[in-house]
Amino acid sequence: SQQGEEDPQALSIQEGENATMNCSYKTSINNLQWYRQNSGRGLVHLILIRSNEREKHSGRLRVTLDTSKKSSSLLITASRAADTASYFCATRGGGQNFVFGPGTRLSVLP
């Protein structure tokens, strides 16, 4: 079964608004990562948060991690049309595999 599950599946917002995506996972993890994928392109790493961290920032990105609820959220502030993409969370537990969720498709309308 999927380790990571993003929510919502799709999100449509206006430029300048904030976008929030959530990720839930099932087992214990070492870290959780967020990736972005523009249509048909390779995934690009955005941010990594370790299991002992609760919040992390990178530019307009803010990631939170709640290990007690096995969930994470990605907030993109002041969104731009160029943020239109699919966003995936990826978890890695004790094994070597990265497990990606099905992704959230974000559309930022000008």
Partner 1 sequence: DSGVTQTPKHLITATGQRVTLRCSPRSGDLSVYWYQQSLDQGLQFLIQYYNGEERAKGNILERFSAQQFPDLHSELNLSSLELGDSALYFCASSAPQEGSQETQYFGPGTRLLVL
Q: Are 80 and 70 in contact (CB under 8 A)?
A: no
Give the one residue of 9, 41, 66, 109 binding partner 1; rule: CB under 8 A: 41
Distance in angstroms (rounded) separating the CA atoms of residues 37 and 73 = 17
Residues across the chain? 110
Q: Does 45 bind partner 1 (CB under 8 A)?
A: yes
Cα(54)–Cα(44) distance, rounded to whole angstroms?
22
Residue (15 or 102) nearer to partner 1, CB:
102
Half-sphere exposure of 20 (CA within 13 A, CB side): 5
Q: Where are the beta strands (DSSP E) in the chain?
A: 4-7, 10-14, 19-25, 31-37, 43-50, 55-58, 61-66, 71-76, 85-92, 99-100, 104-109
Residue 35 or 76: the one with the smaller Cβ distance to partner 1 is 35
Stretch that binds partner 1, among 9-17, 43-51, 61-69, 73-81 (CB under 8 A): 43-51
CB of 110 to partner 1, least distance (A): 26
Tell me: does residue 88 bind partner 1 (CB under 8 A).
yes
Stretch that binds partner 1, among 15-23, 34-42, 56-64, 74-82 (CB under 8 A): 34-42
Applying CB under 8 A, which residues contact partner 1?
2, 30-31, 33, 35, 40-45, 48, 50, 88, 90, 92, 95-103
